[in-house]
Chains A and B, each alone.
Chain A
Amino acid sequence: QVQLVQSGSELKKPGASVKVSCKASGYTFTNYAMNWVRQAPGQGLEWMGWINTNTGNPTYAQGFTGRFVFSLDISVSTAYLQISSLKAEDTAVYYCARDGPGGIGPPFYWGQGTLVTVSS
């Protein structure tokens, strides 16, 4: 069965960086794109963009350019989200979420989420 297992919660100071991992299993990693979704405390879902797992080419949604980087390690079927120059407003749960058979669109499978807390 498809599983996306994310790394654990992080507590970071403003200005620091964080790297969240998402290890996939149960399917061929390069057959489906990987999305990233943010959920701020008490708020809704916000799509951050996606990465083509064949080419490694990332696409960032508006508002997620510059400090956000999607990357892959295909050898271990893992996607990464790195956020630099962290701000308090980056405090959120970050989800990786795999595409469905129809290609890029609303995700099918979701990781369990990684809470990133930014506080001095």
Chain B
Amino acid sequence: QSVLTQPPSVSAAPGQKVTISCSGSSSNIGNNYVSWYQQLPGTAPKLLIYDNNKRPSGIPDRFSGSKSGTSATLGITGLQTGDEADYYCGTWDGSLNAVVFGGGTKLTVL
């Protein structure tokens, strides 16, 4: 059971927009920055978003992040088949003194 809660799967058609939620508590998301990762099949996770809404160099602006209270959201616009992957949220948990991750969301681009 992950500390952060994500939907197991989401799907949308190419060109459409999808959002992935990540729910936590005041000890983690509520008081710390959230990061988002993309994990393509058979590869290592890749940072998409950090500090709630910042994109590392090279990440297209189709990817966006937001946070409100104890929840965070990853948005992906202009979906491409190459976006099919597992997406994870992560943050620091001050009560556990640990980095915590969501259980992951599998994105299918129909």
B28-82 with Cβ < 8 A to chain A:
32-35, 37, 43-47, 50-51, 56
Partner of A105, one of B46, B88, B99: B99
Partner of A44, one of B32, B33, B102: B102
The verdict on A106 contacting B90 (CB below 8 Å), with A45-B104, A46-B101 known, is: yes
| Chain A interfacial residues counted at CB < 8 A | 24
Docked complex Cα distance between A102 and B51 (Å): 9
The verdict on A95 contacting B44 (CB below 8 Å), with A47-B98, A106-B91 known, is: yes
Q: Is the CB of B56 within 8 A of A62?
A: no
Shortest Cβ distance from residue B76 to the other chain A in the assembled complex, whole angstroms: 19
A67-120 with Cβ < 8 A to chain B:
95, 97, 100, 102, 104-113
Interface of A is mostly: loop
Q: Is the CB of A102 within 8 A of B44?
A: no
Of chain A, the residue at the smallest CB distance from B91 is A106
- A21 contacts partner chain B, Cβ-Cβ < 8 Å: no
Docked complex Cα distance between A90 and B44 (Å): 18
Q: Is the CB of B104 within 8 A of A108?
A: no
Q: Is the CB of B91 within 8 A of A113?
A: no
Partner of B35, one of A44, A47, A50, A106: A106
Contact residues in A for B92 (Cβ distance below 8 Å) = 104-106
Contact residues in B for A113 (Cβ distance below 8 Å) = 44
Shortest Cβ distance from residue A101 to the other chain B in the assembled complex, whole angstroms: 9
Shortest Cβ distance from residue B20 to the other chain A in the assembled complex, whole angstroms: 14
Contact residues in A for B45 (Cβ distance below 8 Å) = 45, 95, 97, 110
Would you list 9 pairs from A and B whose C-beta atoms are within 8 A, ordered by A residue? A45-B90, A45-B104, A100-B50, A104-B92, A105-B99, A106-B37, A108-B56, A109-B47, A110-B46
With A44-B2, A44-B101 given, can you name 13 additional A-B contacts, CB distance below 8 Å?
Answer: A44-B102, A44-B103, A45-B45, A62-B96, A104-B99, A105-B32, A105-B35, A105-B92, A106-B34, A106-B50, A106-B91, A110-B44, A112-B43
